Structure formats: structure tokens, C-alpha cells
Amino acid sequence: MADGRRTPDQILGPFFPQGHKPTASGDLTLTRGRQGCAQGEIVEVRGHIFNREGMPVRGARLIVWQANSFGRYAHSNDSNPAPLDPSFIGFAEILSDRVGAYWFKTVKPGAYPAGPDWMRPPHIHFEVHGHSERLITQMYFAGEALNTTDRILMSASHQDLLIASPLPLADELGHRAFDFDIVLSRG
């Protein structure tokens, strides 16, 4: 747990999913009704939801969404010329378990242009519904060069709480894993 500091708020956008049902399996690399696996580096994200006292938040609802490995969202308003991945919508809804743990498998999102002189680093959006509060935040990957110039990340009060830690393990296929704990005020 990150010493009782609340995970910083981040912006909701862009491109909150529309017209798609979130996957509930925790595996964003496979999309129901579509053939094939998502393109890109497959990664696992795991962590815990805590309150500021360090108690696990059981049954927290996490909605996650992200760009594909090319940096494009499956959203009609995303004008990025990067290709769409027909096997990836990048949208899931999962629950934390009895010890506040959550897990999902996805592809590492690509960076994308957010303006003429600004590239967003790879990141994943989170909307977390605890028992008494809602948090909108974003998770960034450690070691990304674009992290240090991202206006949204740099505007956060405690940027270190938004950077996922790489775990020293990989699954049997060599997929990297990242740890991202989320702290709510009350839970």
C-alpha cells in the first residue's frame, strides 16, 4: 500500500467507450464475437484497492479502458490515423475480491498525439467505484520517456502513485506483469 496517500484524480477522457459492452472476464486480449487475439505486447495488471487506513476494499467495481497497442481508441471520435485493431475494444469491468485484489490481462497501450506538440505516454484509464466514493484516475508504465513531459501526469499531486511497478515475474508465455495499487479515501 502506498503509505495511506489517496490515489490522485485524473481526467475522465478521452474517448470513454461507447457502443460496446465491457468484458467481464478480465481478459481484454480476447473480444467476444471477434476472431483472434489483440495485437501488441500482452501484459497483466494486478493490484489491490485499499482505503487510507490500509483496509482492503472488497467488491469495488473497476471500469478500465485504453487505447490499443497502436495508440488508438475504439471510439468513433478518435481521429488518430493509427490503425484500429479489430480484435481489441479495450474496455472491461471487474470487481475486487475479498482481499481487495483485482487482475486483468490486456495489451500495453501505445502512445498517441494529444495535440500538435504533445504525445501522451502509454496509460490505462480507471474508474473505481468503492462503497462510498468514485475515483477517476490513470495508470502509467514505469520507465516511459513520455511520462516526464505528459501534462496530465505532471499535473498530479503525487505522480509516483500513478506509475505501475513492474513485477519481477512473467507468466509461462513471458508476458510482463505490473502492480498498481489504488487507495481510496474511505473505500
Q: In this structure, what CATH number is given to the domain that contains residue 113?
A: 2.60.130.10
Q: Which of 73, 75, 102, 140 is catalytic?
A: 73
Residue 175 appears among annotated catalytic residues? no
Residue 121 is classified by DSSP as P
pLDDT the model gives residue 102: 98
pLDDT the model gives residue 50: 97
The reply to whether 125 falls in a domain is yes
Is-contact 83 125, C-beta < 8 A? no
pLDDT the model gives residue 84: 93
Q: Which residues of the chain have pLDDT under 50?
A: none
Is-contact 163 147, C-beta < 8 A? yes
pLDDT the model gives residue 2: 58
Residue 131 appears among annotated catalytic residues? no
Residue 112 appears among annotated catalytic residues? yes
The reply to whether 29 falls in a domain is no
**Structural domain tally of the chain?**
1
pLDDT the model gives residue 48: 98
Whole-model pTM?
0.94
The reply to whether 13 falls in a domain is no
Q: Residues with Cβ < 8 Å from 13, sequence gap 6 or more?
A: none
* Structural domain span for residue 173: 42-59+68-184
Residue 140 appears among annotated catalytic residues? no
Dist CA 122 CA 67 (whole Å): 8
Q: Which of 6, 48, 75, 125 is catalytic?
A: 125
